[in-house]
Structure 1
């Protein structure tokens, strides 16, 4: 069986990361069964983390529960026990049988379902440094300590990422410098090299730099190879996110692969893999 894991072209491997735990476009986000499947077969898979009231993390993207779950109110004000009773919703609001997953629950599943040696679980931390207290830092570190070899912690607030990583020996880290109107600002300034050098300096220990795919492609159109600039500093690049598989997204994927991107984040790894290899 062929798994939607990566594309190899001219000796270079580009991983297809399962965005929010999706293997294919119609998968619900953050489903425990899909995440465990990804880890079992050696995929690169991403989940989001938001702090809950008991100083741990829920596997959710939004701070407000009603957007993704059957709950109401802020994740930050909701206990672990209450979160576990909530169901996830799909993108159209339909209630799903899958329950909200907590980071501690996911790690408990990984205790019984060991990860493939090549599997990589990206923990995309959605909070900033100000949201972290000592108890939360200790809790996250204790939760993931047995699985750090198969994990990478990422986020846009490097101070938060650095604090968590320092409490968790062996944890790989990544950094995403793309915020707000970064693309529009870069179109105006044209300082693509400065943007990359600033990101590398901000996060000197980050193994992966996460870049919006449009920023990478716009820089290429302007004659600057962002991926090569990151590679020159011995780091890797993840280009995010191709939301669907169609003619425009396939063209973008092929351009990114030609630029030797190390990973493409996609909501449809299976569909993208099939289209690129057919």
Structure 2
């Protein structure tokens, strides 16, 4: 089997993004070995960032430690030294050998093992700008600057993304409007044109717009191509997240490819590549 990197359709390439560092659904999330594999191959891969007690970021999705790690309590109240001693949990909830990584740990690994030129690591920042302090911003910049060419920072609070992006030259940024007031307004009005216009106005410097694939397809069903204005603005679009690749999702993926999304986020990159190999 070839490595799950991208799909080609009608002259357009759509990257396959390894959600939370997974190559296949059975993989545990956020393991250094899988993330480094993806970066070595030239894949697109995503990890999440949550602030910890020592003014830095941990590679975790949840604000609480219990579900993802062998720790308890809040990430925000846990020192870096304690986090590094915690084990991650697998899909069955049982501890695995891999430890929790901090952002600087992951960036150090990338510095030692130079990624493929096409590799792209998405850092999805889970917090808002109110959580940021000068120390957090400075530590973030120091961590990512040496490998910024291979990174893109994303989130739903573009004020926070802007603050962090400015701390590291060459770092690209992305914006996800599928949260908060923006999403609430869309759900109330069904006005996809205004939704995407406001997203583009909010994040004029973003390289990538991240949209829930359900929104992309709902807009299409209503007769509005939500991808076109993103491309017209010179930006790329990621459609997230295909959890399983099966008979129920393959037609949805077919339509996303027809709409020429630039990236599809999935927990099953191998399954996605295999399903469309022919």
TM-score w.r.t. the length of structure 1 is 0.97
1:186: how far off?
Answer: 3.1
Q: What's the offset of the Cα at 1:168? A: 1.1
Partner residue in 2 for 1:45 = 45
Query: 1:114/1:185 Cα in 2 relative to 1: closer, same or farther (>3 Å)?
Result: same
Partner of 1:58: 58
What is the alpha-carbon root mean square deviation over aligned residues? 1.3
CA distance in 2, matches of 1:70, 1:16: 30
Cα distance in 2 for partners of 1:254, 1:133 equals 43
For residues 110 and 148 of structure 1, the distance between their equivalents in structure 2, rounded to whole angstroms, comes to 10
In 1, the alpha carbon distance for the partners of 2:158 and 2:186 equals 21
The equivalent of 1:68 in structure 2 is: 68
Deviation, 1:187, is 5.2
Per-residue Cα deviation, 1:224-269 (whole angstroms, up to 9, x for no partner): 0000111111111000000011112111111000000000000000
Contact 1:59 1:101 in 2 (8 A): yes
Alignment partners' CA distance in 1, 2:31 and 2:248: 28
1:204–1:215 distance in 2 versus 1, CA, 3 Å: same
Q: State whether residues 182 and 195 of structure 2, in contact with CA within 8 Å, keep that contact through their aligned partners in structure 1.
A: no
Residue 90 of structure 1: CA displacement? Answer: 2.2
Alpha-carbon distance in 2 for matches of 1:157, 1:50: 14
Looking at structure 2, the residues matched to 19 and 275 of structure 1 have their Cα atoms a distance apart, in angstroms, of 18
> Which residue of the partner structure matches residue 235 of structure 2?
235
| Counterpart for residue 215 of structure 1 | 215
Deviation at 1:49, TM superposition (A): 0.4
Pair 1:144-2:144 in alignment: yes
Aligned counterpart, 1:164: 164
Aligned residue for 1:248, secondary structure, equals coil
Aligned-pair CA distance for 1:38: 0.4
How many angstroms apart in 1 are the aligned matches of 2:236 and 2:111?
29
Q: State whether residues 183 and 214 of structure 1, in contact with CA within 8 Å, keep that contact through their aligned partners in structure 2.
A: no
**What's the counterpart of residue 105 of structure 1?**
105
Count of matched residue positions in the alignment of Structure 1 and Structure 2: 278
Equivalent positions of 1:8-23 (< 5 A) are 8-23=8-23
User: Which runs of 5 or more structure 2 residues have no equivalent in the other structure?
Assistant: none
The answer as to 2:260 corresponding to 1:257 is no
TM-score by length of 2: 0.97
Tell me the residue number matched to 2:88. 88
Q: Provide closer, same or farther for how the CA distance between residues 3 and 99 of structure 1 changes in structure 2, counting only shifts above 3 A.
A: same
Q: Secondary structure at the match of 2:71?
A: coil
> Greater shift after overlay, 93-102 or 115-124?
93-102
- Give the whole-Å Cα distance in 1 for the aligned partners of 2:161 and 2:183: 23
Cα offset, 1:181, TM superposition: 8.7
Q: Distance in 2 between matches of 1:183 and 1:146?
A: 35
CA distance in 2 between partners of 1:187 and 1:174 (Å): 22
Give the 5 Å matches for 1:151-190: 151-179=151-179, 186=186, 188-190=188-190
